[in-house]
Amino acid sequence: METSEIFEELVGQYQSMMYYTALKIVKDAQMAEDVVQESWIKVFKHQLKLERIETLGSWLRTITSRSAIDLLRKEKRRNESLLSNEANLLEQLEQCSVKAVDDVLDWKFTFEYLEQLVNNKKLLPIFRMKFQLNLDDEQIAKQLNISHSAVKMRIFRTRKLIKQSYHVQSASTLKSGA
């Protein structure tokens, strides 16, 4: 099989997965198409490594998501070249770091999932303050003007909902005879 035939087969098999991976991150159809094209260029440049890759789909998803994050960083730097003061400059530099972008995306996807899972609007803000903002129970209680025990109970209830969801998902993914 020729190299062009191999790449045509790969594109046919993985193109849509890569597009939706990019779209989930960049939230724009044209940017997602650019990300996928850039990802295929990277794959073509590293074609010698393709034979050694056991999980090609995961590898392509990783390349696509990293390319999407890189594009977001590039756009952010372009749009924020005119900062008004030094305080904003430090904040923006922190947001452009690799870890910060990854953390922001991780938290965003986590809380999108939690918002779907948790119907009670009292639980999610406390959970976010506790685990994303790293506030202690006393600080949360003061900010929301509720008791310390109410904070503890709402965190407990949210964790319980997450555990229940995890157990339901784990049970549904198990196959009989496994």
d(CA 4, CA 47) in angstroms, rounded, equals 11
**Residue 78's CATH number:** 1.10.1740.10
Q: Which range, of 34-38, 80-84, 96-100, 152-156, averages the lowest pLDDT?
A: 80-84
Same domain, 48 and 123: no
Q: How many domains does the chain have?
A: 2
The pLDDT-based confidence of 35 (bands split at 50, 70, 90) is very high
For residues 115 and 86, give the distance between their C-alpha atoms in angstroms, rounded to a whole number.
35
88 and 8 housed in the same domain: yes
139 and 111 part of one domain? yes
| Residue range of the domain that includes 80 | 1-95
CA distance 57 to 71: 21
Tell me, yes or no, whether 32 and 106 share the same domain.
no
Task: For the chain, give the mean pLDDT.
Answer: 76
What is the reported pLDDT for 125?
A: 78
pLDDT score of 36 more than 90: yes
Mean pLDDT of 64-79: 84
Q: Encoding tokens for residue 47?
A: 């074609």
Residues 103 and 75 in one domain: no
Task: Say whether both 168 and 119 belong to one domain.
Answer: yes
End of a domain among 47, 67, 95?
95
Say yes or no: 6 and 68 in one domain.
yes
What would the DSSP string read from start to end of the chain? Answer: --HHHHHHHHHHHHHHHHHHHHHHHH--HHHHHHHHHHHHHHHHHTGGGGGG-S-HHHHHHHHHHHHHHHHHHHHHHHHTSS-SSHHHHHHHHHHTSHHHHHHHHHHHHHHHHHHHH---TTHHHHHHHHHTS---HHHHHHHHT--HHHHHHHHHHHHHHHHHHHHHHHHHHPPTT-
Taking the CA atoms of 140, 112, 35 and 99 in sequence, report the sign of the dihedral they define. positive
The verdict on 68 and 10 lying in the same domain is yes
Do 168 and 87 share a structural domain? no
Whether residues 126 and 101 fall in one domain? yes
Same domain, 132 and 90: no
CATH number at residue 101: 1.10.10.10
- Do residue 86 and residue 108 come from a single domain? no
Q: Which among 72, 95, 118 is the end of a domain? A: 95
The last residue of a domain, from among 95, 127, 160? 95
Please report which confidence band the pLDDT of residue 83 belongs to, taking 50, 70 and 90 as the band edges: very low
